Amino acid sequence: MRGHGDAVVGQSVKHAVLHAIYAEFNARIQSEALKLGGTVTYLNEAEATKIGAGNDAGVDRPWELWKSQALARQRH
């Protein structure tokens, strides 16, 4: 994947899609925050681990939304 820029993995396709979408979203938010100046406080390792464990639990709801959006675009 050299030169690709991003490789995302997950327990399933649903999880990989969730991680890919949120990685892009979070990168945009971080970029905007850095443009504002000041100090950005990042999560420490323990906080990131705790947050990461909870994110995969709610994959079905966004998955259904993204799936319906993709199908709607495909129909048009």
Q: Which residue has the tokens 């396709």?
A: 13
**Which pLDDT value is given to residue 38?**
85
pLDDT tens readout for residues 8-52: 888 889 989 998 998 999 999 999 999 999 888 999 999 988 876
Residue ranges covered by each domain of the chain? 13-75
Q: How confident is the model at residue 54 (pLDDT cuts 50, 70, 90)?
A: low
Helix, strand, coil percentages in the chain from 3-state DSSP, rounded to 5: 70, 0, 30
**Which pLDDT value is given to residue 11?**
86
pTM: 0.71
Three-state secondary structure call for residue 52: helix
Q: How confident is the model at residue 1 (pLDDT cuts 50, 70, 90)?
A: low
Contact 20, 6 (CB under 8 A): yes
65 or 76, higher pLDDT: 65
